[in-house]
Structure 1
Amino acid sequence: MKQVVWICWCWLSCITLGVQAKKTDNREVVNLNREWTYQRGDYPGAEQADYDDSGWEHVGLPHSFSIPYFMWKDFYTGYGWYRKTIVLDKADLKREIFLEFDGVFQVAEVYMNGRLAATHKGGYTGFNVRLTPYMRKGENQIAVRVDNSWRGDVAPRGGEHVFSGGIYRNVRLVKKNPVHIDWYGTFVTTPTLAAHKGRSSSVRVQTDVRNLTDQVGTYELQIQVLDENRRVVSGQRAVRRVEAQSMARFDLSTDEIEGVALWHPSHPHLYSVVCSLYKGRKLLDSEEVAFGFRWFEWTADKGFFLNGEHFFFRGANVHQDQAGWGDAVTEEAMRRDVRMMKEAGFDMIRGSHYPHAPAFAEACDREGMLFWSETPFWGTAGPKKDGSWTASAYPVKESDVAGFESNVLAQLEEMIRIHRNHPSVFVWSVSNEPFFTDGKTIPAVKALLKKMVDTAHRLDPTRMAAVGGAQRPLGDDRIDKIGDVAGYNGDGANIADFQQPGIPSVVTEYGSTLAERPGKYMAGWGDLGRDEGWKGREWRSGQAIWCGFDHGSIFGESMARLGIVDYFRLPKRSWYWYRNEYGHRLPPSWPQEGVSARLRLEASKTGGILADGTDDVQLVLTVLDKEGRELSNSPDVTLSVISGPGEFPTGRSITFSADSDIRIADGKAAMALRSYYAGRTVVEASSSGLESARVQLEFTGAPEYEEGKSVQVLSRPYVRFTPGHVESVLQVYGPDSPTFASSSSEGHSPGFAADGDRKTYWKPAESDASSYLTLDVERTLEVHAVKAQFPLETCQSFKVEFSVDNVEWVLVSDGVVTEGTSWEKTLAHPQKARFVRFSFPSEGNGQRSAVAEIEVHGKVGAR
Structure 2
Amino acid sequence: EAVACREQDWEAINLPHSFSLPYFAASDKFYTGYGWYRKRFMVPRAWAGKRIHLEFDGVFQVAEVFLNCRRIGEHRGGYTGFAFDVTDAAKPGDNVLALRVNNLWDARLAPRAGEHVFSGGIYRNVRLVITAPLHVAWYGTFVTTPQVSRESAKVNVKTEVANDSARPRSATVRTLVLDAKGRTVASMASTGTVEAHSTLIFDQASPPIAHPKLWSPEHPNLYSVKTIVLDGRKPVDDYLSPLGFRWFRFTADRGFFLNGEHRYFRGAGLHQDHAGWGDAVADSGFFRDVKMMKDCGFDFIRASTYPHAPAFDRACDELGMLLWIDCTFWGIGGFRGDGDWFASAYPTNQTDEAAFEANVKEQLRETIRIHRNHPSVIVWSMCNEPFFSAEEVMPKVRRLLTDMVACSHELDPTRPAAIAGCQRGDIDRIGDIAGYNGDGARLFVDPGIPNVVTEYGSTIADRPGKYEPGWGDLPLTPGANPNVVGSWRFPWRSGEAIWCGFDHGSIAGREFGAMGLVDYFRLPKRSWYWYRNEYLRIPPPEWPTTGVPAALRLTADKTTLRSVDGTDDAHIIVTVVDENGRPVNSCPPVTLTVDRGPGEFPTGPSITFAAGSDIPIRDGQAAIEFRSYFAGRTLIRATSPGLKSAAIEITSLGEPKFVPGKTPPARPRPYTRFTGDASVTAWLALGTNNPTAASSEAPGHSGRLANDGNPNSFWQAAAADNAPWLRVDLEKLVTVRQVRLTFPVAANWRYRVEVSVDGRSDWKLVAERSDGSRREATYQDDAAEGAYGRFLRVTILRAPAERTAGIAEVVALGAPAK
TM-score strictly above 0.5: yes
Structure 1 window deviating more from structure 2 (116-125 vs 380-389): it is: 380-389
| Structure 1 unmatched runs, 5+ | 1-44
Matched residue, 2:669: 716
**TM-score for both structures, normalised by structure 1:** 0.92
Q: CA deviation at 1:652?
A: 0.3
Matching residue within 39, 49, 66 for 1:94: 49
Structure 1 window deviating more from structure 2 (761-770 vs 95-104): it is: 761-770
What's the secondary structure of 2:8's corresponding residue?
coil
What amino acid maps onto 1:427 in structure 2? V
Q: Residues 418-452 of structure 1: CA distance to partner in whole angstroms, max 9, x if unpaired?
A: 00000010000010011111111111111111111
Matched residue, 2:181: 229
Q: CA deviation at 1:199?
A: 2.2
What's the secondary structure of 2:785's corresponding residue?
strand
> Is 1:463 aligned to 2:415, yes or no?
yes
Q: CA deviation at 1:818?
A: 7.5
Matched residue, 1:668: 621
Q: Aligned residue pairs: how many?
A: 807
Matched residue, 1:280: 232
> Is 1:357 aligned to 2:309, yes or no?
yes
Q: CA deviation at 1:847?
A: 2.5
- Mapping 1:290-301, distance limit 5 Å: 290-301=242-253
What's the secondary structure of 1:453's corresponding residue?
helix
Q: CA deviation at 1:766?
A: 3.7
**Contact (CA 8 Å) 1:198, 1:294: kept in 2 or not?**
no
- Mapping 1:616-655, distance limit 5 Å: 616-655=569-608
What's the secondary structure of 2:230's corresponding residue?
strand
What's the secondary structure of 1:85's corresponding residue?
strand
> Is 1:153 aligned to 2:99, yes or no?
no
Matched residue, 1:739: 692
**Contact (CA 8 Å) 2:561, 2:569: kept in 1 or not?**
no
Matching residue within 436, 450, 467 for 1:488: 436
Q: Residues 742-769 of structure 1: CA distance to partner in whole angstroms, max 9, x if unpaired?
A: 2322321211111111001111234444
Matching residue within 357, 365, 371 for 2:323: 371
> Is 1:522 aligned to 2:468, yes or no?
yes
> Is 1:173 aligned to 2:128, yes or no?
yes
What amino acid maps onto 2:79 in structure 1? Y
Matched residue, 2:497: 544
Matched residue, 1:267: 219
> Is 1:589 aligned to 2:547, yes or no?
no
> Is 1:313 aligned to 2:273, yes or no?
no
**Contact (CA 8 Å) 1:783, 1:858: kept in 2 or not?**
yes
Q: 2: CA distance between counterparts of 1:771 and 1:177?
A: 73
Matched residue, 1:214: 166
| Structure 2 unmatched runs, 5+ | none
> Is 1:451 aligned to 2:407, yes or no?
no
Q: 2: CA distance between counterparts of 1:163 and 1:665?
A: 27
Q: CA deviation at 1:787?
A: 1.5
> Is 1:836 aligned to 2:792, yes or no?
yes
Matched residue, 1:110: 65
What's the secondary structure of 1:285's corresponding residue?
strand
Matched residue, 1:57: 11
Q: 2: CA distance between counterparts of 1:689 and 1:400?
A: 61
Cα distance change, pair 91–348 in 1 and its aligned pair in 2 (3 A): same
What amino acid maps onto 2:816 in structure 1? V
Q: Residues 459-479 of structure 1: CA distance to partner in whole angstroms, max 9, x if unpaired?
A: 000000001111112xxxx01
> Is 1:248 aligned to 2:204, yes or no?
no
**Contact (CA 8 Å) 1:731, 1:858: kept in 2 or not?**
yes
What amino acid maps onto 1:745 in structure 2? A
**Contact (CA 8 Å) 1:796, 1:849: kept in 2 or not?**
no
Matched residue, 2:456: 510
What amino acid maps onto 1:757 in structure 2? N
Q: 2: CA distance between counterparts of 1:725 and 1:634?
A: 30
Q: 2: CA distance between counterparts of 1:727 and 1:423?
A: 48
> Is 1:66 aligned to 2:20, yes or no?
yes
> Is 1:778 aligned to 2:731, yes or no?
yes
Q: Residues 204-232 of structure 1: CA distance to partner in whole angstroms, max 9, x if unpaired?
A: 00000001111112211011111112221
**Contact (CA 8 Å) 2:748, 2:799: kept in 1 or not?**
no
Q: CA deviation at 1:841?
A: 6.4
Q: CA deviation at 1:823?
A: 2.4
**Contact (CA 8 Å) 2:169, 2:232: kept in 1 or not?**
no
What's the secondary structure of 1:595's corresponding residue?
coil
Matched residue, 2:352: 400
Q: 1: CA distance between counterparts of 2:654 and 2:735?
A: 51
Matched residue, 1:23: none
RMSD, aligned α-carbons = 1.5
Q: CA deviation at 1:796?
A: 5.2
What's the secondary structure of 1:790's corresponding residue?
strand
Matching residue within 622, 628, 648 for 1:695: 648
Cα distance change, pair 87–834 in 1 and its aligned pair in 2 (3 A): same
Q: 1: CA distance between counterparts of 2:40 and 2:414?
A: 42
**Contact (CA 8 Å) 2:346, 2:389: kept in 1 or not?**
yes
What amino acid maps onto 1:188 in structure 2? V
**Contact (CA 8 Å) 2:754, 2:792: kept in 1 or not?**
yes
**Contact (CA 8 Å) 1:58, 1:713: kept in 2 or not?**
no
Q: 2: CA distance between counterparts of 1:860 and 1:435?
A: 21
Matching residue within 81, 84, 109 for 1:129: 84
What's the secondary structure of 1:714's corresponding residue?
coil
**Contact (CA 8 Å) 1:109, 1:116: kept in 2 or not?**
yes
Q: 1: CA distance between counterparts of 2:458 and 2:802?
A: 38
> Is 1:599 aligned to 2:552, yes or no?
yes
Q: Identity over the aligned pairs, expressed in percent?
A: 50
What's the secondary structure of 1:413's corresponding residue?
helix
Q: 2: CA distance between counterparts of 1:652 and 1:729?
A: 38
Matched residue, 1:851: 807
Q: 2: CA distance between counterparts of 1:794 and 1:769?
A: 19
